[in-house]
A and B are shown apart, each in its own frame.
Chain A
Amino acid sequence: MSNLLEIKNLRTHFVKNKRIIRAVDGIDFQIGKGETIALVGESGCGKSMTSLSIMGLVPSPGGKIVEGEIILDGVNLLDLTEKEMYGVRGKDIAMIFQEPMTSLNPVLTIGDQLTSVIIHHLKLSKKEANLRAIEMLELVGFSDPTKMMKNYPHRLSGGMRQRVMIAMAMSCNPKLLIADEPTTALDVTIQAQVLELMKELSKRFSTSILLITHDLGVVSELAERVVVMYAGQIVEIATIEDLFDDPLHPYTIGLINSVPSIEGEIKRLQSIEGNVPAPGSIIQGCKFAARCSHAFDRCWIEEPDLLLMDDSRAVRCFLYDDEEANV
């Protein structure tokens, strides 16, 4: 599988009150063509900022990509001008957001919003764009798409709006769909529908998906590989099977243990002690050490590197360092 997107040593920093916050602190990962990757972590771990960095929408002033490469189909997006990015956003990379209730423009009809994107990127006539929009709405499961075109967002439910967002995102055949917590704000039953829809569409159009979430249930539903982030860094990369069967990093183990299980015996729900380090705080050694039950002397002094275990597996923890094994 060739890579669609390669992120190399990406660093996105924020300056707030003259302090530098390393929101994204040197991350590397790849997404294959047609592959679905999940980016997992607690709030504030830098996963949303990673997605905004890929889109070139890091909030400015304040935020800035200071280092790294984001290569989409052989082109480094960071080398493109803002004007060239207008042609990439919404066309090559589309995005759907966490808040379907507020992500659509309240004063424009669904039809207006869909067709304007289609006309902008595919250079179709108004009439053709209309047909395309209706086709997309039908595809995401609206039974009366023509009527839906004339509706305003406030008349739709959250699930319906998220489906409109998906229709909008998929309308220009993107190579990559970034879904930033697409189901967090939805009812559980609607969540399943939306996930099913994303799965189906990505297969149909062989679109790669970067799924950003903190919900491991959603991850197991959709993703093939998982990237776990903590405090702006990647702590573990694994296939979905490896991640749930044999999680390596103590943080990943903690995450999985904190999901209640329907099967098996009833036991007390576990949580990871402590909090995510405050953004901008300077920590010596491993960033997770303060919350880690396995932490030992070395963890407080040195910062572990991301260790490659095999082709599809990497972990940032001294427990798996050969040096330690030798001791």
Chain B
Amino acid sequence: MASYIVRRILYAIPLLFLITIISFGMMKMAPGDPTALMMDPMIKKENLVAYQEAYGLNDNVLVQYVRWLGNMVQGNFGESLIRQGVPISDLITARLPNTLLLMLVSSFIAFLISIPLGVISATKRNSLTDYSITFVSFLGIATPNFWIGLVLIMVFSVNLGWFPTGGVSTLGEPFSIWDRIHHLILPALVLATADMAGLTRYSRSSMLDVLRQDYIRTAKANGFKNSTVIFKHGFRNGLIPIITILGLMLPSFIGGSVIIESIFAWPGIGLLFVEAAFQRDYPVIMAVVVIAATLVVVGNLLADILYAVFDPRIEY
């Protein structure tokens, strides 16, 4: 098991390397360079050149990339161009926990609701319950979740006043768990809806597939009652393909968090990314892209490991 995990981590390294190349390359290809933003447009030509020289912007691209990568590996992402003097690593350590919390809670909600719905749908196949769940799922797939976010804000925050419209906590109040949860509910719910519908459909088809298998018939022929057959013999098998989906869902959660954090003014890396993109804050964009990509790679790694835990047929 340990050697399997180590091997998987080693496989992930070239992938991360590739991501840094793409991230760096794309920013390099964008027009202009950081000095164009940092400097007064009226600056003298020779001074500008001196700055470019000092920042190393006239060096070979390869040299620049290696320098950037070397710094990043040591945890130094450089400084923000807009908030001058603020290290990006500070920005990220302030923002990342918020995003991780949001993602964790919303994926928990998504799993807690979707998987049981999918299982119910599969066991009561072609019943009214199944059709209702299917209908709502398709509705969920077809509805953009930023729209759901806006509607929920309008109904629950503006009209009913049950929840705050955004932020992670009430400004000026001391830290309290309840306050945090109160702020978390709406954005987490909306982010969860992004994948809930699809996840329900996946769980349904995975369970349907499992319930058709011969070993389910064996379990029935052994006299186990229906619920035992479904949960003990069916569910663990049905879960295996769903774990794969978990790995695939992470990118969409990160993509979704960019939108949801903007709507709910949730100070996570998604919002940081949007702000940086609008302000052409290149080093921040690059850092966030690398971190988001790392999260996806780590997520897939976790899914792979879980996969091996749940399916004895996978050899380490």
Contacts and interface: CB of A to CB of B under 8 A. Distances in A.
Interface of A: 55, 57, 61, 83, 85-91, 94-95, 97, 99, 102-109, 116-117, 120-121, 152, 154, 165, 168
A120 B223 contact: yes
A91 B223 CA distance: 8
21 contacts: A55-B221, A83-B225, A85-B223, A86-B223, A86-B224, A88-B223, A90-B224, A94-B221, A97-B214, A97-B217, A103-B214, A105-B219, A106-B215, A106-B313, A107-B240, A107-B311, A108-B233, A109-B312, A116-B224, A120-B222, A168-B222
Contacts of A99: 214
Interface residues of B, number: 22
B229 to A, nearest CB: 10
Contact of B215 (A85, A94, A105): A105
B8 interface: no
B217 to A, nearest CB: 7
Given A86-B225, A87-B223, A107 B217 contact: no
Interface string B220-242: 11111100000011001100100
Contacts of B224: 86, 90, 116, 120
B218 interface: yes
Nearest to B239: A107
A89 B223 contact: yes
A86 B224 CA distance: 6
Given A97-B214, A106-B237, A90 B221 contact: yes
Interface of B: 126, 213-215, 217-225, 232-233, 236-237, 240, 310-313
B221 A105 contact: no
B233 A105 contact: yes
Given A152-B313, A154-B313, A117 B222 contact: yes
A109 B313 CA distance: 11
B310 A107 contact: yes
Of A89, A94, A107, A154, the most chain B CB neighbours within 10 A belong to A107
Given A106-B313, A107-B311, A152-B312, A121 B215 contact: no
A89 B220 contact: yes
A316 B233 CA distance: 43
Contacts of A55: 221
Majority secondary structure, B binding face: helix
B20 to A, nearest CB: 39
Contact of B223 (A104, A107, A121, A165): A121
Contacts of B313: 106, 152, 154
Contacts of B218: 97, 103-105, 165, 168
B223 A90 contact: yes
Of B218, B236, B237, B311, the most chain A CB neighbours within 10 A belong to B218
A212 to B, nearest CB: 13
Nearest to A178: B221
Given A61-B126, A104-B215, A154-B313, 16 more contacts: A55-B221, A57-B217, A86-B223, A94-B221, A103-B218, A104-B218, A105-B219, A107-B237, A107-B310, A107-B311, A107-B312, A109-B312, A116-B224, A120-B222, A120-B223, A120-B224
Contacts of B237: 105-107
**The 4 residue pairs across chains A and B that have the minimum distance between CB atoms:** A90-B223, A89-B223, A90-B222, A102-B214
Contacts of A87: 223
Contacts of B221: 55, 57, 89-90, 94-95, 97
Contacts of A154: 312-313
Nearest to A165: B218
A168 B218 CA distance: 10
A55 B224 CA distance: 13
A104 B214 CA distance: 8
Nearest to B313: A154
Nearest to B215: A105
A165 B220 CA distance: 14
Contact of A102 (B126, B215, B240, B312): B215
A121 B217 CA distance: 17
B236 to A, nearest CB: 5
Contacts of A61: 126
Nearest to A57: B220
A12 to B, nearest CB: 16
A87 B225 CA distance: 9
Contacts of B232: 116
Nearest to B314: A154
A187 B253 CA distance: 50
B312 to A, nearest CB: 4
Contacts of A86: 223-225
A154 B221 CA distance: 21
A121 B222 CA distance: 9
A72 B222 CA distance: 17
B209 to A, nearest CB: 12
A94 B311 CA distance: 28
Contacts of A104: 215, 218
A91 B222 CA distance: 7
B242 to A, nearest CB: 13
B214 A89 contact: no
Of B215, B232, B310, the most chain A CB neighbours within 10 A belong to B215
B215 to A, nearest CB: 4
Given A102-B214, A154-B312, A107 B236 contact: yes
Of B126, B222, B237, B312, the most chain A CB neighbours within 10 A belong to B222
A173 B126 CA distance: 38
Of B220, B223, B240, the most chain A CB neighbours within 10 A belong to B223
